[in-house]
Chains A and B, each alone.
Chain A
Amino acid sequence: MARFEVKVNGAVHAVDVDADTPVLWVLRDSIGLTGTKYGCGVAQCGACTVFLDGRPLRSCSLPVSALGGREVTTIEAVSGREAEAVQRAWVARDVPQCGYCQSGQVMSAVALLRKTPKPSDRDIDLAMNGNICRCATYVRIRAAIKDAATALGG
């Protein structure tokens, strides 16, 4: 075990874990931020998507020792106009079914709209195809991203 100071959602947390512990499990088990989900552990499904210094990342595959001083943002604290537009569009469209993957879907969609305010279908495919939804809510995810883009004036 080793001691790491991790910056998450604007606060610094000191955690005692093995150096190879993925950020996902630091968030969930050490800090108690359970909105970020485990789905595969091998960066295949995107349920664990967080922002690292504002860029989307699969937290299941990044060891805490590689974090350095970078800031992690999770679904619990994602904010700003894109986040609000995405979350509002998700609810208005009733995107979630089981909901388990949706933290990751929302994070990926927010990242997309921050970079590409008016995404094409291809932009959506490229930004979102790392996020699996076994309920296959994809039709509504696509529609909600477009709604959010419209609401943002994109």
Chain B
Amino acid sequence: MIAHDTPLSRRAALTGIAGLVIGVWLPDAAAAQSGAARAFGARAGGLVPFAPNAFVRVGLDDTVTVMIKHIEMGQGPFTGLATLVADEMDADWSKVRAEHAPSNAELYKNFALGAQGTGGSTAIANSYEQMRKAGATARAMLVQAAAEAWRVPASEITVERGVLRHPSGRHGGFGEFAEAASRLPVPADAPLKPPSAFRLIGQDGVRRLDGAIKVNGTAQYGIDIREPGMLTVLVAHPPRFGGKVASFDAASALQVSGVVDVKQIPTGIAVYARGYWPARKARDLLRIEWDDAGAERRGSEQLVAEYRELARRPGAVANARGDAEVALARAGRVIEAEFVFPYLAHAPMEPLDGFLRWDGERATARYGSQFQSGEHAAIAGVLGLPLDRVEIETMLAGGSFGRRAQPSMHFAAELAQVAKAIGPGRPVKLMWTREDDIRGGYYRSLFVHRLRGGISDGRITAWSHTAVGQSILRGSPFEAMIKDGIDPTSIEGARELPYAIADFRCDLHTTQVGVPVLWWRSVGHSHTGYVVECFVDELLQATGQDPVRGRLAMMANAPRPTGVLRAVAALAGWSGPGPVNGRARGVAVVESFDSFIAQIAEVSAENGEPRVHKVWCAVDCGVPVNPDVIRAQMEGGIGFGLGHALFAEVSIDNGRPLPANFDTYRALRIHEMPEVEVTVLRSIEKPTGVGEPGVPPIAPAVANAMARLGLGRPRRLPMVRGAA
């Protein structure tokens, strides 16, 4: 490497090279105030002399801060993305920090979404190369700076745990060379490590970066924001979806001490107060007449009945091979099953909330934004500001499970509306209560699936599947994904099976209902995984085949699902479904978001209800970046999937959601959580997601065990109805 010391101009500093947007930190106070500095999320103070690109900052104290373009809502992107950078830099993990990147679609877009945002279990998959390049570039520049200082060839310098060394005995930390490195040109093609040289990627013991702050109360979420003069805002929403305010009387509400104002906004009536409690009391005292002329009045039972009728007629064809109808007519035996899935709320522990400061000229929003680019535009639109006068600072989020990934941008728009309604210079914190959250819609769609399977000569010869439910994508910015009337998220996991069945058909009826729906952790797989894995198990049982060997026999051309199925069978010491001593085992294998998961659940019956004792899980998500985070996501996905399958339903009656809080929307608790054992397959495939794929297999695995206990595979979820 040849030494250079030509300082880059600001213009050059912002020029994209090799897929990275490159900037050089200017270590003076003026630069710290500049737009470029803000774009890199740097703070004034001169302690961060080296920012070789939009993702890496090196401090004089040797700390490496990684700017994370994906929101940390529990799934571990702070840790995973920083691991990618740190490994390529050969950084000392104890000196690595993570921060949310600011809203800037050009610098921080998700390559899977085309805009800044998080979803679809894409954080690692779309960042793997980008973050490694960012780390490799930073490392190369630090090495070059040391080479020039020591007057030795760069090739003779090694880096280990944040220390640069030369055989002559010279050594120094990253901080020592940070300023010199910042004056070097940015190499276009810093080499990436071969996987054999990874020191952090794939290793156990790389602890989460956000662990300590989450056990001592110092982690800051949107709900924790407090600023002088800030008003807490609660909004009374219509009790039926599509309802509107006809008239309201706020006289009593305004009598509550601490209440500042009450305003009508497009989504309801907003109460402004000094703190949550006066806002809550005042909202309860509002007298509102609702206009339900345009509201949805149907309830869950009516929708189920309508969907069942539809399921008896063929829908729009999503996929077909051969002729399923002919094959069913010729089959020796036909088995039919109908499955009903309820609306589900995401109910993240932190309900929706957000802070907005607006002075009439500029606006800063701070909250757990999951789709920054769209919400940036939504806030600017409501406030009538150009995009460059609005910024979003992404906060840690107390869970999401899909709830904060809003194509409608409804929360960001409401946040801007409450600020606009009271006028500039009044910072606001908008909060949704738990009741607002569970009754507020944007649910996992209610679905009905009807399946018919044909069996001849001990083999499954025909499969016909009709799905009925609302589209998540229709009317959203993602509508272009709907092709030939098929919303792919409605039947993902059902239109292609890992099983070879000669005559196959999958079709779909998309319904129109006024209840807003949204993706919910694992999206379509949250229901299709259950349908497919229960039904194939039922057909295998009818043919007298073992659930594991029967699946393997039909998956000859699918090495990865075969791999996880074999792995989970080995982990569990599978010797058939049982029951043995009152405990039966059920299996399921589901591919979702390009990851492959197989699970075996051991279940007994207690008072006619399933009791899940243990779950074994095998996961193939390509190169495992952080095996322990992967295990954590499997454990959490299993608990999330199990809790909802057992207990959860947002039933709607006459247009009104019935449950309102955790007393009526039952969540899994610690005594209901099974023991979980996870094996992470070693792989050299490109890494894929783990946030969602742990969810789909657990419910069918439990149902398939229930069938062996004589409880049958539940045809309607939740399994324990009326559980709340």
Contacts and interface: CB of A to CB of B under 8 A. Distances in A.
Interface in B636-686: 636-640, 642-643, 661-663, 667-671, 673, 675-676
Contacts of A106: 215
Interface in B66-111: 73-76
Contact of A1 (B218, B258, B434, B661): B258
Contact of A35 (B218, B232, B675): B218
Interface string B389-413: 0000000111111000000000000
B349 A100 contact: yes
A129 B670 contact: yes
A135 interface: yes
Contact of B640 (A75, A87, A124, A135): A135
A85 B219 CA distance: 20
A45 interface: yes
B478 interface: no
Given A45-B662, A132-B349, 17 more contacts: A1-B258, A18-B257, A28-B224, A39-B434, A42-B661, A44-B662, A87-B215, A94-B628, A96-B210, A98-B73, A98-B349, A98-B396, A100-B350, A102-B215, A124-B670, A135-B639, A136-B668
Given A97-B632, A137-B636, A25 B277 contact: yes
Indicate the size class of the contact surface on chain A.
Answer: 35 or more
Given A37-B350, A76-B217, A100 B399 contact: yes
Contact of A29 (B216, B219, B276, B639): B276
A94 B210 CA distance: 9
B499 interface: no
A142 interface: yes
Interface string B192-209: 000000000000000110
B510 interface: no
A34 to B, nearest CB: 4
Give the one of A45, A90, A94, A106 with max B CB within 10 A. A94
5 closest cross-chain pairs (CB), A and B: A35-B217, A136-B639, A100-B398, A99-B214, A98-B74
B661 A138 contact: no
A139 to B, nearest CB: 5
Interface in B322-353: 347-351
A59 interface: no
Given A40-B662, A136-B636, A136-B643, A94 B208 contact: yes
Interface string A96-111: 1111111100100000
A88 B133 CA distance: 34
Interface residues of B, number: 67
Contact of A36 (B76, B213, B217, B632): B217
Interface string B253-289: 0001110000000000000001111100100000000
B223 interface: yes
Interface of A: 1, 17-18, 20-22, 25, 28-30, 32-42, 44-45, 47, 74-76, 86-87, 90-92, 94-103, 106, 124-125, 128-129, 131-142
A30 B275 contact: yes
A141 B670 contact: yes
B635 A99 contact: no
Given A41-B434, A136-B638, A137-B632, A98 B399 contact: yes
Contact of A44 (B208, B274, B663, B670): B663
B128 interface: no
B673 A91 contact: no
Contact of A140 (B207, B401, B434, B632): B632
Contacts, number: 192
Given A44-B663, A136-B640, A96 B433 contact: no
Contacts of B433: 41
Question: Secondary structure of the A side of the interface?
Answer: loop
A140 B639 CA distance: 12
A134 B640 contact: yes
A134 to B, nearest CB: 5
Nearest to A133: B349
Contacts of A17: 258, 275, 277
Give the one of B73, B217, B400 with max A CB within 10 A. B217
A29 B221 CA distance: 14
24 contacts: A1-B258, A20-B277, A25-B276, A34-B217, A35-B218, A37-B349, A37-B350, A38-B351, A45-B349, A75-B217, A95-B211, A97-B633, A97-B636, A98-B349, A98-B398, A99-B213, A100-B398, A106-B215, A128-B670, A129-B671, A134-B348, A134-B640, A137-B635, A139-B675
B215 A94 contact: no
Contacts of B1: none
A34 B434 contact: no
Give the one of A30, A74, A132 with max B CB within 10 A. A132
A132 B673 contact: no
Nearest to B273: A29
A100 B378 CA distance: 27
A46 B673 CA distance: 17
Nearest to B664: A44
B212 interface: yes
B226 interface: yes
A41 B661 contact: yes
A142 B670 contact: yes
Contacts of B636: 97, 135-137
